[in-house]
Amino acid sequence: MTAQEELDQSRLFCQELTRREAKNFYYGLRLLPPAKRAAMFALYAYMRQVDDIVDAEDGPAPQGREEQLESWRRQTHAVLAGDATPDGHAVWPAFADMVRHYSIPERVFDEVIAGQRQDLRPIEFEEFDHLYEYCYRVAGVVGLACIYIWGFEGGARTEQLAVDRGIAFQLTNILRDLREDAGRGRVYLPRSELTKLQLSDQDLLGDGDASGEPFLQMMRQQIERAELYYQKSAGLEERVSRDSRPTLVAMTASYRGLLRKVSRRPERVLDGRVSLSVPSKLLIGWRALRAR
């Protein structure tokens, strides 16, 4: 098989993985030009492989997952050093092409793996600074990788806007998945803030008073913080290449729409995963197309 055939097969693997595992994300990426779209599929596929090492239900015990993560980190560095297929995994040719073509900073991938390593153990962050570091690792640097693929102007200032947008997305995810994560021993919200309001882990599982003022106050504080990061990243769209703006618009509208849905009835996060309605998704798609 030629190198081009291996690359083509790898790109197809990444595309199918994205289509199967991230349907909404997939259709947002369809708004990109073909080359950038293929690169984003490769980025998602790589991130998905790392995530699956940590979260796969049929995976080994934490120590075994730790070893798998370290193996994946070493393989990543081998690819970045020029070995395109260190273990024959289908993702590597497309991943290597993406990193090389778009000059994505290598630190992105070390940070992502470091963030996933934190999820191997019970999560507890005492202060927001500790939560911020986690969000930076699992989402902020992903925002950074995205703008390198999309193209941008404005240097370090734009890079910070992209990190802030990623932080906003992750804070939204944390609220959306509050009950599910708590059930897995992952309480991402700062412990000091929960303690101040006398909220326990059981309250995050829905066993407390979801309509009580302490829980609602906590949710309002978290929603305001996430909104702050959306506001801090305002202007990112204008700094990203025009052909990539529709995808960024669609992604942001989806995440921010989720946050605003939660804000209208915060206790809904204890009922199950919050999602947008089909009409809302269609409206987001229409607005994203107009951004062209």
Q: What is the CA radius of gyration of the chain?
A: 19
The confidence score (pLDDT) of residue 62 equals: 78
- CA distances to 24, 57, 179, 183, 214 from 117, rounded to whole Å, are 26, 16, 21, 19, 32
Q: What's the whole-model pTM score? A: 0.92
Angle, CA 166 vertex, CA 18 and CA 144 arms, to 5°: 80
User: pLDDT digit string (tens) for 140-172?
Assistant: 999 999 999 999 999 999 999 999 999 999 999
Q: Using 50, 70 and 90 to split pLDDT, how confident is the model at 286?
A: low
What is residue 113's predicted lDDT score, i.e. its pLDDT?
A: 96
Contact 204, 185 (CB under 8 A): no
Mean pLDDT within 169-197: 94
122 pLDDT tier (thresholds 50, 70, 90)? confident
pLDDT in tens, 212-232: 899 999 999 999 999 999 999
Tell whether the model's pLDDT for residue 208 goes beyond 90: no
CA separation for the pair 214, 207 (Å, rounded) = 14
Write out the DSSP string of 203-263: HHTT-S-TTSHHHHHHHHHHHHHHHHHHHHTTTHHHHB-GGGHHHHHHHHHHHHHHHHHHH
Domains and CATH numbers, the chain: 1-103 (no CATH), 122-292 (1.10.600.10)
Residue 287 has pLDDT above 80, yes or no: no
Give me the pLDDT at residue 70, please.
Answer: 95
Burial of 211 (0-12, 13-18, 19+ CB in 10 A): exposed
Q: Which pLDDT does position 273 carry in this prediction? A: 77
